[in-house]
Amino acid sequence: MKIRFILNPISGNQKANVEKIHAQIQKYFEGAELCVTQGPQHAALLAHEAAEQNYDVAVAMGGDGTINEVMQGLLGSSTALGIIPRGSGNGFARELKLMGPLDKTLKKLQAGTLISCDVGYANDEPFLNLAGVGIEATVAWKFAEQKKRGMLPYFTLAAKTLLSYKPPVLRVTINGEEYRWAPLSLVFANNRQYGSNFVIAPQAAIADGKLDLVIIKNVFILKLLAALPSFFAGKVPPSGVTAYAQLQEAVIESDQEIFYHIDGEPRKTDRRLEIKLVPHALRLWVP
């Protein structure tokens, strides 16, 4: 099997020991190639090269942002995406049961199999895990600017943002029907969780041909806080906190700029955001 490992050396909470990682990879995949990214979008370029050179698998070693970049480079090819999580949240990898020490994850991938996976798009930019509009996008912008990573810094920032956030009115069109909402957040989920076991869409599945829309309502803060244990338990929150639908396409419009995120990476657009799903658009290499 011809494999390229693509390592983001600054993902997670500590800098990677490249020599040690290379030695561990060779233990399980003799002759496999290890490439180290040098900056933004380099992972996408390395993955695209792997696809052009007919590699069987390109393995993303990083967080959800790195996984997204590698995916971008593989779309439209037969090269499969593998994942070794090195981020702070690791939402997609957790759902694939890929958490654990590097040796353990490499051993799992040794016995891997190929499956197909749906891919979402936000204004024609692909996402594998989640896209969102609202407070989570605002938090994503702020979180990208700070040095501290991990679950605690993220939720501390989210709590502070929640106290001052004022949801804009959004016009959302689904299946030809237009709705006017001012939600705390709109989440378009291809997978169940953000990361750190915070499950936002318990019924989502990566190969069901649907995106799960979760509307987090702008409820009283104490009611939202009381619902938090449900999210971490992977259960549907108490009545009145969220609403839910499945879809393949949606259009979000606003009278102002729309802030959103794809796989945790912040984005913004001028007043219109188009969401769609392409079923079975990617091959995954999973345990």
Q: Closest Cα to residue 151, out of 53, 232, 60?
A: 232
How far is Cα 252 from Cα 39, in angstroms, rounded to an integer?
31
Q: CA-CA distances (angstroms) from residue 6 to 13, 76, 175?
A: 18, 19, 39
- The verdict on residue 161 lying in a domain is yes
- Helix, strand, coil % (nearest 5) of the chain? 30, 35, 35
- The verdict on residue 68 lying in a domain is yes
**174 Rama sector, left if φ>0, alpha if ψ -120 to 50, beta otherwise:** beta
Question: For 73-85, what is each residue's pLDDT tens digit?
Answer: 999 999 999 999 9
Residue 88 belongs to domain with CATH number: 3.40.50.10330
Domain hosting 201: range is: 125-279
Amino acid at 31: G
- The verdict on residue 271 lying in a domain is yes
Tally the domains of the chain: 2
For residues 97 and 215, membership in a common domain is answered with: no
* Arithmetic mean of pLDDT, 16-38: 95
Question: For 217-259, what is each residue's pLDDT tens digit?
Answer: 998 888 888 888 888 888 888 788 999 999 999 999 999 999 9
Residue 146 belongs to domain with CATH number: 2.60.200.40
The number of angstroms, rounded, from the C-alpha of 41 to the middle of its chain's C-alpha atoms is: 16
